[in-house]
Amino acid sequence: MSHVKGHMSNVIMIDLSISQAHEGLKNKKFSSVDLTQAYLDRIKELDSKLNTYVTVTGDFALEKAKKIDEAGDFSSPLAGIPMSLKDVVCTAGIKTTASSKILENFVPPYNAHVADRLFDAGAVLLGKANTDEFTHGSSTETSYFGTSKNPWNTDCVPGGSSGGSASQVAADLATYSIGTDTGGSIRQPASLCSCVGLKVTYGRVPRHGVMPYASSFDTIGPLTKTVEDAALVLQAIAGRSEKDATTPNVPVPNYSDSLKTDLKGVKIGIPKEYFQEGVEEETIKVINDGIEVMKKLGAEVIDVSLPLTKYSIPTYYLLAKSEASTNLARYDGIKYGHTTDSAKKLTEIYMKSRSEGFGDEVKRAIMIGTYALSAGYYDAFYLKAAKVRALMKKEFEEAFAKCDVLVTPTSPFPAFKIGEKADDPLAMYMADILTTAVNLAGICAMSIPAGFSSGGLPIGMQIMANQYKEENLFHAGHAFEQATEWRIKKPNL
Ligand code: GLN
C-alpha cells in the first residue's frame, strides 16, 4: 500500500497511463510524491534484473513531485507524472552518458529543449534510460553499461536503441519515456516490448541538446502505454523552436481531437513489400489479423506498392553512418568526455581517447562514414544514396496521395536472444528493414501493440503517415487499441 493516502496500491498506481494517473492526481486519489515513490520502489525491486536505468534521479524526482503537490496545479496533463529520458537527452547537472565510456562522467551544463518543455509541463524525472552507445544499434547490446532485458523474456533483447525506455514502459518502471528514432530506435523496441512508440515527422520536435546520431534523420518522441498518452506527450514537446532551425512553423494541432474509435472514411494502404521474405510468417499473420480489425472498424483497405523499399537498408546505413562519422568528431578527448592518460602528443590524445572511449559499433560507423565521404568515393556512395533517398520520399508521397495511413509490421521478427546477432552487424542491421524508409523519407510512424508470437513475445504494428500527419497515426492507432486487448497484457515479472 502507498504510504500516504493509502487507498491505492503501488501496483495499481504504476500501471496507470498518463491520462489515468492525471485523473488520480487531479482528484487527489494519490499525490505525485506517492506515485513517484511507487515507481522508485519498483525500480529498486526490478531494475537489477532489467538494467534499464543508467542513472536513477530519486531525490531530484521526489523534490519535483513535492513541488508539484504543493502547487496543486494539475492543469497540464503531464504535471506530477514520473517519466524517464533516454540517456542522450542532456539534463543540466545530471549525468548524460549516451551509454558510452567516452561520456561515462559527462554532466551537461544545460537541458535539452525537449527536457525543458517537459519540465515546464510538470514532468517528474525518474532517471536516464539505457541505450545502445550513441544510439547505434537495435538491441542495447552496444551500451557500455550492459544490455537491457526484455520484460517478456529476460533472455531476450528489448530492441534498441531506445531499449531501456521501452523495457521501462512495458515493465511499469516509468509512466512514459522519451526516446530517439534515427532508423527505428523508438518503434522497434516499442514493438519488441509491447508499448506505443511514436516516431514524429522530421522537424516536429526540436533536437537542441539531444546528442546526434545522423542529423538529417534524428527525431525525438515518446514511448508510452497508450496512444492517447503519445498524443499528450507530443502536445507538450512539438513545435517550432528558435534553438533548432530544422523545426518549421507548422501549426501544432490539438492531437487529442484525433482520438476516434471508428475508422469510417479512413483509407489504409498496405504496401506489399513489407510483407515479403525476411519477415516471419507469424508476424505477418498478426498484422493481417490487425488489418481485419481495422476493416471492421470501417476502414477501406487498398493495396499499394513501394518498390524502392529493398534499397532502404544500404541507403540508410550509408547516409546515417556518414553523418555519424562527422557528428562523432567532436569527441576528441579535449572538449569533453574521456581523456586518455597515456598520450605524449596532441594527435595521440585524439587517437587514444577515441580508441579507449568508443565501442565497436561506433568505431564501425566512423570507419564506414569516413570511407564513404572521402574524396573519390563521395559520388559513388554518398551522392548516389542521397539520390535514392529523394526517390523514396517521392514514392511515399505517391502512396499518401491514395491513402491516409500505411499499415505494416514494425519488426520482421519478435525479440531475439541476447547475443544472437551481437557479432554479426549485417544480421543486426536487418532488424531495421521495416523502419528505416520512414526516416529516409522524413515522414512519421508509430508502433502499437498488435499481438504475440506463439512463444509469448510481443509483435507490433507500424502505422505510417505523411509529413506532419501525426493526427492520422493517433486516429488509426487509438481506434485499433480500443478495439483490441493488447494494451492490457502485462509481462510476468
Ligand atoms: N539500428 C539503427 C542503427 O543503428 C537505428 C538506430 C536509431 O534509430 N538510433 O542505425
- The CATH number that applies at residue 86 is 3.90.1300.10
pLDDT at 12: 85
Nearest-angstrom CA–CA distance, 134 and 166:
17
Mean pLDDT of 408-432: 96
Spatial contact of 362 and 406, defined as CB atoms under 8 Å apart: no
Binned at pLDDT 50, 70 and 90, residue 3 comes out as: very low
- Give 11 or 5, the one with higher predicted confidence: 11
**62: β partners:** none
Element (H, E) at 21: helix 18-26
Tens digit of each residue's pLDDT (9 = 90 or more) over 165-187: 999 999 999 999 999 999 999 99
Atom of ligand 1 lying closest to residue 138 CA: 1
Binned at pLDDT 50, 70 and 90, residue 277 comes out as: confident
Spatial contact of 176 and 229, defined as CB atoms under 8 Å apart: yes
Residue 139 falls inside a structural domain: yes
Q: Give the type of residue at 308.
A: L
Residue 469 falls inside a structural domain: yes
Residue 453 falls inside a structural domain: yes
Spatial contact of 353 and 332, defined as CB atoms under 8 Å apart: yes
What are the backbone angles phi and psi of residue 106, rounded to the nearest 5°?
-80, 125
Rounded to the nearest angstrom, the distance between the alpha carbon of 78 and the centre of ligand 1 is 28
What's the whole-model pTM score? Answer: 0.97
Whether ligand 1 lies within 6 angstroms of the CB of 361 is answered as no
Residue 322 falls inside a structural domain: no
Mean pLDDT of 303-317: 97
CA-closest residue to ligand 1 atom 5: 183
Nearest-angstrom CA–CA distance, 209 and 178:
13
Q: Give the type of residue at 420.
A: E
Rounded to the nearest angstrom, the distance between the alpha carbon of 359 and the centre of ligand 1 is 15
- Number of domains making up the chain: 1
pLDDT at 8: 79
CA-nearest of 62, 69, 67, 2 to 38 is: 2
Residue 377 falls inside a structural domain: no
Residue whose C-alpha cell reads 514494425 in the numeric block: 410
Taken in order 7, 12, 14, 20, is the CA torsion positive or negative?
negative
Mark whether 312 is an active-site residue.
no
pLDDT at 10: 85
Binned at pLDDT 50, 70 and 90, residue 375 comes out as: confident
Tens digit of each residue's pLDDT (9 = 90 or more) over 217-276: 999 999 999 999 999 999 999 999 999 999 999 999 999 999 999 999 999 999 999 999
State the virtual CA torsion across 244, 246, 247, 250 in degrees, nearest 10: 160
Nearest-angstrom CA–CA distance, 441 and 136:
20
Mean pLDDT of 147-158: 98
- Is pLDDT of 5 > 80? no
Transcribe 34-84 into DSSP letters.
HHHHHHHHHHHHHHHHH--EEEE-HHHHHHHHHHHHHHT---STTTT-EEE
Mean pLDDT of 195-211: 98
Say if residue 191 is preceded by a cis peptide, omega within 30 of 0.
no
Mark whether 99 is an active-site residue.
no
Residue 366 falls inside a structural domain: no
Average pLDDT, the chain: 96
- Is pLDDT of 380 > 70? yes
Q: How many CB atoms lie within 10 A of CB 393?
A: 16
Residue 34 falls inside a structural domain: yes
Whether ligand 1 lies within 6 angstroms of the CB of 197 is answered as no
Q: How many CB atoms lie within 10 A of CB 445?
A: 31
Whether ligand 1 lies within 6 angstroms of the CB of 113 is answered as no
What are the backbone angles phi and psi of residue 136, rounded to the nearest 5°?
-90, 100
Mark whether 86 is an active-site residue.
yes
Atom of ligand 1 lying closest to residue 180 CA: 9
Question: Whole domain around residue 469: which residue ranges?
Answer: 5-314+382-488
Binned at pLDDT 50, 70 and 90, residue 193 comes out as: very high
Tens digit of each residue's pLDDT (9 = 90 or more) over 85-127: 999 999 999 999 999 999 999 999 999 999 999 999 999 999 9
Tens digit of each residue's pLDDT (9 = 90 or more) over 462-487: 999 999 999 999 999 999 999 999 99
Whether ligand 1 lies within 6 angstroms of the CB of 432 is answered as yes
Catalytically annotated residue among 161, 165, 312, 447: 161
Mean pLDDT of 61-78: 98
- Is pLDDT of 150 > 70? yes
Nearest-angstrom CA–CA distance, 23 and 447:
26
Mean pLDDT of 62-77: 98
Residue whose C-alpha cell reads 505525485 in the numeric block: 32
Give the least confident one: 12-16, 270-274, 297-301, 446-450.
12-16
Residue 452 falls inside a structural domain: yes
